[in-house]
Chain A
């Protein structure tokens, strides 16, 4: 009942408003502003803000993708040479295999020292061998260019009593979690 009276009162006020041209024009202007705000500016402005946010997100994704592409390119150059395993026995066997291929004689070898480096592991090994200068050069080359990623940290080649001895401290790299990095890392860019 009260609602009905309120509606009637509202209707009467609106009817009277038409007889007051300035107020009527103001009311029409207010309605237009309200329609403009509620019907156009706010919803479309909100939609625009949402899309701007989506674009900002896409641009951030693109920046990350660009970085990833660069990182993948770098990783791709060495990824195939990163050993999956960091087992000291297995690594010892690998070094011995290269030593034999080069034709060097092992003098002494210390057990590999394995350390974690993030998701990677480093394998530090030291050995002494004896052989010709060419065999030593071959051995070092096999280590540096071989199927495993190894860098020589320290090298000593010395002529001792008409023989040549070499002492090497090298560092190998293995990845405990490298499965996440695809085998074709960076290949798209390098091809």
Chain B
């Protein structure tokens, strides 16, 4: 077996391994991985972020950092789809996320398996990933990557022991210090992974892990081709023969990899910032982090809330102004409302009643002739020698109950509103009778007669010569218009 170089940290790249209740800082500058533990078994909310912030502030973490989750925290598997099932890729991922519990983010990964039949997904706790990224945010987003620890370890394994082209299906197993991880791969891409622990039965644990993934390969995924099992144990040991005998497939020894925080850190640091076969995985992992819960748009909500408040205040102000106007309008007419109440129907009824009364009284009182005044005026306007024989007149009352405000009918005024004066004027010997027009003018000039009778309709003069007193009988008729 060709010797392979011992894995080492790349320059200026360190790694942070995040577990449920601890975070391990590794890197070239760390003589040994440094563990920062949570106060309890699991990180409380914000605790991981705070620990990492402090580590950054204390310059314990600098440069570029690769973040990975402990393998036991990460879920990675390939499942066979049911082509008859009503669903799609996303729904399968959702089902896995739901199965694993809340606050998880996942990403499906492309493999050489047909995607209509298989789904390969990696799922990590969203909270840990989010807090790890935030805790290292001061280093700059470009200097921090979150990648799949499973894929980083598999990549490291592949670097130390290249896959055989004639063995499309591989099982690789790393185990040390009581913990192990086994990969099931096809075409160099991981399809499934098994994390296990052991105490003393090292051989048994490794063979069990290999058998488990073989079952997955044969029964669940139904991979074709004879699998090759590579054990990272360094040299041909009895374990290799034992495994080959037990599993019934070819088992080979691969360079030993001392699985532990240092190796995981190296794997993460090497994989995070390199382009190549794992770029999609890295991108997928990065994207997975990118789907952290959306920030609540506090500024926008505050702005809209302020706008709503302003609208509410404005509307409230408008409402108050309307109230005030209504109160003022009512106050201006308080004496009427005290007398008649404020009920609109009652007020309209009273309005109708009083309108009728007002029109009736207006017609009755205002639109009339003051006959007493006319009688008083008459002797004043008559010349001394002229005697009144008869004064007669009519001023009819016009009012229609159905239309109280209607003016008097024009055609009836002429026959119903008039006055007539019949007077006798002496005729002097040899003299001429007085002109009816002069008497009519005298009446017309009188301010008293002008209202209401302002128009002389006609006049007539009869000369009476019979008897002892020859005189002229003057008749004048006045109309209102």
Main secondary structure of the interface of B (DSSP, over half): helix
Which residues 130-148 of A have a CB within 8 angstroms of B? 133, 136-138, 140-141, 143-145
The answer to whether A65 and B326 touch across the interface, beta carbons within 8 angstroms, is no
**Binary per-residue interface labels of chain A (174-189) against chain B in the complex, 1 for a CB within 8 Å, 0 otherwise:** 0100001110000010
The answer to whether A71 and B372 touch across the interface, beta carbons within 8 angstroms, is no
Given that A19-B291, A65-B333, A151-B397 are contacting pairs, would A75 and B361 also be in contact in the complex, using a CB cutoff of 8 Å?
yes
**Binary per-residue interface labels of chain A (63-80) against chain B in the complex, 1 for a CB within 8 Å, 0 otherwise:** 011111111101101110
Q: Using CB atoms, name the residue of chain A closest to B421.
A: A157
Distance to closest chain A CB from B347 (angstroms): 5
Contact of A157 among B300, B311, B332, B391 (CB under 8 A): B391
B109 within 8 A of A: no
The answer to whether B105 and A19 touch across the interface, beta carbons within 8 angstroms, is yes
How many contacts between A and B, using CB within 8 angstroms? Answer: 205
Closest 5 CB pairs of A and B: A141-B372, A65-B333, A21-B294, A71-B358, A71-B354
The answer to whether B375 and A157 touch across the interface, beta carbons within 8 angstroms, is yes
Given that A61-B333, A157-B392 are contacting pairs, would A118 and B401 also be in contact in the complex, using a CB cutoff of 8 Å?
yes
The answer to whether A173 and B364 touch across the interface, beta carbons within 8 angstroms, is yes
B256 within 8 A of A: no
Q: Using CB atoms, name the residue of chain B closest to A20.
A: B294
Q: Using CB atoms, name the residue of chain B closest to A77.
A: B365
Residue numbers in B under 8 Å from A159 (CB-CB): 387-390
Residue numbers in A under 8 Å from B370 (CB-CB): 144
A4 within 8 A of B: no
The answer to whether A41 and B375 touch across the interface, beta carbons within 8 angstroms, is no
Task: Give A151 to B102 CA distance when docked, in angstroms.
Answer: 100
By size class, the interface of chain B is 35 or more
A35 within 8 A of B: yes
Contact of B357 among A35, A69, A119, A149 (CB under 8 A): A119
- B→A interface (CB under 8 Å): 94, 98, 102-103, 105, 126, 291-297, 300-301, 304-305, 308, 311-312, 315-316, 318-319, 322-323, 325-326, 329-330, 332-333, 335-337, 339-340, 342, 344, 347-348, 350-351, 353-358, 360-362, 364-365, 368-372, 375-376, 379, 387-397, 399, 401
Residue numbers in A under 8 Å from B292 (CB-CB): 19
Task: Give A51 to B325 CA distance when docked, in angstroms.
Answer: 10
User: Can you name 12 A-B pairs with beta carbons within 8 Å?
Assistant: A21-B294, A45-B315, A55-B325, A61-B337, A65-B332, A66-B333, A72-B354, A137-B372, A140-B371, A152-B371, A154-B393, A156-B392
By size class, the interface of chain A is 35 or more
Task: Give A155 to B371 CA distance when docked, in angstroms.
Answer: 8
Q: Using CB atoms, name the residue of chain B closest to A15.
A: B102
A16 within 8 A of B: yes
Q: Using CB atoms, name the residue of chain B closest to A167.
A: B392
Which residues 35-68 of A have a CB within 8 angstroms of B? 35-36, 39-41, 44-45, 47-48, 51-52, 54-55, 57-62, 64-68
Contact of B351 among A16, A71, A182 (CB under 8 A): A71
Task: Give A108 to B385 CA distance when docked, in angstroms.
Answer: 32
Task: Give A59 to B98 CA distance when docked, in angstroms.
Answer: 65
Given that A12-B98, A65-B333 are contacting pairs, would A25 and B294 also be in contact in the complex, using a CB cutoff of 8 Å?
yes
Contact of A61 among B98, B339, B342, B357 (CB under 8 A): B342
Task: Give A111 to B102 CA distance when docked, in angstroms.
Answer: 107
Residue numbers in A under 8 Å from B316 (CB-CB): 44
Distance to closest chain A CB from B79 (angstroms): 20
A10 within 8 A of B: no
